[in-house]
Amino acid sequence: MLSLDQIRAAEALRGKGTFNLTPLHFPNSLNRRFPTRAKVHLKQELFQRTGSFKIRGAAARIAALSEAERRQGIVAASAGNHAQGVALAGTAAGARVRIVMPEYAPLTKREATEGYGAEVILKGESYDEACHYARELAEAEGAVLVHAFDDELVMAGQGTIGLEILDQLPDVRAVLVPVGGGGLISGVAVAIKSQRPNVRVLVVQAEGAASAVESFHAKVRRPTDIVHTIADGIKVQYVGERCFDVMQRYVDDMVTVSDTSICQAMLALDEHAHVAPEPAAAVTVAALLDGKVRLPDGPAVAILSGGNVDTFEKMRYFRRALVEERRHLRIRVKLMDRRGSKPRKMAEIFQLLAEHQLNVLHIAYRRDTPDLPLGVVQVEFHLETRGRQHAEAIQRAIIDAGIGL
């Protein structure tokens, strides 16, 4: 099983400039939103080289290769973050690097991987299918397969985050860690529990890809039959076999969060901590906002594992969060479509919107559809509110005013 000595050996790579010490930040504004008395700090791996923690494990694994192995070339499978870590560390070591990525992999991650010098091969509809092909490719050509998580040296590299947390926050009481295949939590859990067994290690996974959580509670390794989540960085069907053994020994509890909660966490982090994590990284904060985890009083750390998110996707997730929190509100009103009547009603609506200090983002009219009677128009207002109570207030006001059919 993974040892503390292996993690300490991997830590030496930081002194060689392979990866960086990432900051620990305490956001007051964000903490006021958590239903907990703990003081939650953010371990910001989104500021790591390549934009995620994955460079740590990739560097540790590749540093251990012999000259003959480097000449054989490196193959890996990844949805994006491990790909960039292997590409950077592998090309720096002078090896040929090929990365198999699922066809859904975000364009930004594919381009970044190629930018670090790797050849990208798109194969399969999931990480697991890409991994199967990468394994076949490595065996057929005698290349070295650098697994994304189920490898002790990769796990050891990720564990250097745990060593940093203990150095940066010696009185830490709990650590929250995202999980997919389990490489990150395995390394962090061993690094922390080997030295501070009383620190609670809590793990969060997306509901739509919950193999690690389900396996942990069942005490037997189980796959997720169907994976469906926006958190592509932890979107795997199987928790790693070696990782599962470590989690059973060192982890205190594991929970899941919904994609909607992940969107809300991303928005909260943007607004209250001024950072832009990817969905897989935001799961720890989502669990805190949902009250899914119980933390002891005192300092705690939530790991933000990466920040490689496509801008268009990020905006889509923000919009979903705004709708969920009713800060974006759609109100539909049916009015008689005739001269004089409709303008008066519209004037009444605008008067109410002004009184409640709402911002109008968009207005749309609908007339000629089968579900509307002739002579009736449906008017949809897309509004910006200050939150749930504000949204409910304007809805009540329109109903009380008797506006609409």
- On average, the pLDDT of the chain sits at 94
Give me the mean pLDDT over the 175-187 stretch. 97
pTM of the model: 0.92
Of 73-77, 122-126, 199-203, 211-215, the least confident:
122-126
Domain spans, the chain? 4-53+152-323, 56-145, 326-400
Q: What amino acid positions are annotated as catalytic residues? A: 54, 305
Tell me the C-alpha distance between 308 and 276, whole Å: 9
**pLDDT for residue 342 is more than 80:** no
Tell me the C-alpha distance between 399 and 329, whole Å: 15
**pLDDT for residue 171 is more than 90:** yes
Domains 4-53+152-323 and 56-145 equal at CATH topology level: yes
Tell me the C-alpha distance between 126 and 192, whole Å: 32
Closest by CA to 275, choosing from 249, 305, 296, 301, is 305
Say yes or no: domain 326-400 is CATH 3.30.360.10: no
Closest by CA to 62, choosing from 118, 130, 121, is 118
| Residue type (1 letter), 357 | Q
Sheet holding 359-366, edge to edge: 328-336, 376-384, 359-366
Going by the DSSP 8-state scheme, the letter that residue 158 receives in this structure is: H
- 8 A C-beta contact, residue 229 and residue 317: no
Q: How confident is the model at residue 354 (pLDDT cuts 50, 70, 90)?
A: very high
Q: Looking at residue 279, what is its pLDDT?
A: 97
The residues pairing with 259 across neighbouring beta strands, listed in sequence order, are none
Give the pLDDT confidence of 209-260 residue by residue, as tens digits.
999 999 999 999 999 988 999 999 999 999 999 999 999 999 999 999 999 9
Residues written for the chain: 405
Q: Looking at residue 66, what is its pLDDT?
A: 96
- Express as a percent the part of the chain with pLDDT over 70: 99
**Which CATH architecture group holds 4-53+152-323?**
3-Layer(aba) Sandwich (3.40)
Q: How confident is the model at residue 405 (pLDDT cuts 50, 70, 90)?
A: low
Give me the mean pLDDT over the 173-188 stretch. 98
Instruction: State both tokens at 188.
Output: 């962090």
Say yes or no: domain 56-145 is CATH 3.40.190.10: no
Q: Looking at residue 37, what is its pLDDT?
A: 87
**pLDDT for residue 340 is more than 80:** no
Give the pLDDT confidence of 250-293 residue by residue, as tens digits.
999 999 999 999 999 999 999 999 999 999 999 999 999 999 99
Q: How confident is the model at residue 403 (pLDDT cuts 50, 70, 90)?
A: confident
Give the pLDDT confidence of 6-36 residue by residue, as tens digits.
999 999 999 888 999 999 999 999 999 999 8
- 8 A C-beta contact, residue 207 and residue 256: yes
